[in-house]
Amino acid sequence: MISRRRFLHASAATSLLASIQAKANVLSLNTIKANQPIVISTWDFGAAANAEAFKILSAGGRALDAVEAGVKITESDPNVETVGYGGNPDRDGHVTLDASIMDEHANIGSVACLEHIMHPISVARLVMEKSPHVFIAGEGALKFALDNGFEKTNMLSPKAEENWKKWLDESKYMPKVDYKSHDTIGMLALDIHGNISGACTTSGRAYKMHGRIGDSPIIGAGLYVDNEVGGATSTGMGEEVIRICGSHLVVEFMRQGYSPMQACKAAVERMVKMSPSKKEDVTAGFIALNKKGEYGSFSVYKGYQIAVHSTKEQGVVKDIQHLK
């Protein structure tokens, strides 16, 4: 039989253990609640996209849902000449769209050279969640979208068509090389649960060769998320970002202890070093977000902008550090 003294000691120990466990649960809950949501994106048009994303984050929603909803705002904005419906076409007059998405579990989905669909980012998410693949392109991507309920849309806006016709008169079938010809929207979000997701979507380089694909739909180039470390995305000349697996490189620099800004700077320096013969044409930049909610960016040339939205900060950051 258990003596009364032993019973009391056992009961006290059980009560103490229960108390410790309860305090641990409260501490864990407070830690989760202490995570402040934040969303960052490329360019000034990211501000409207961020505001939409933050509605989901502030309600306790998932970062993945936030980034998808956010960039859809830009995809349907006819005034943005480099993404979605407002995007300038390729040199043959086709608006071809690239997009990728990545969640906190390293699930990924991408589409490339997709035509006639308003929201390629949602098709990319469907590839991630409803297909056995991670990347679908061209006619196959269109068929996949239509088979899954997306509607076929004329994506050549009147303004983009006018721009293209002017370009045909003035150009010699050489794609433009400047920021305004390929301003991707890339977005990264941290939710209250401490998870990061990212999205990237673009109509690509204006007046590109038909079939050209840039960095935006390529996981590790235009977008990368590692939920242990943080995430990164890019904008600018996709060919050069692909060359260094840019967004993955930024995340790996953060893993080594670099701040988000330092990681973006190191990637830009690597990119320029890799293409010395074309250094004057390399126009690109990165944004990064780590698990602490710290963000940073860096670009090759002056003029790059990012948008930020959190409980403490909303708006466009214009004075981004740059190499040249």
Catalytic residues: 184
Q: How far apart are CA 324 and CA 312, in angstroms?
A: 31
Give 62's contacts (C-beta < 8 A, 6+ positions apart).
56, 191, 193, 195, 197
Distances (CA, A) of 82 to 18, 147, 179: 58, 27, 10
Question: What DSSP line would sit under 249-318, residue for residue?
Answer: HHHHHHHTT--HHHHHHHHHHHHHHH-GGGTTT--EEEEEEETTS-EEEEESSTT--EEEEESS-EEEE-
- Residue 162 burial (CB count, 10 A): 10
Structure tokens at 17: 């253990």
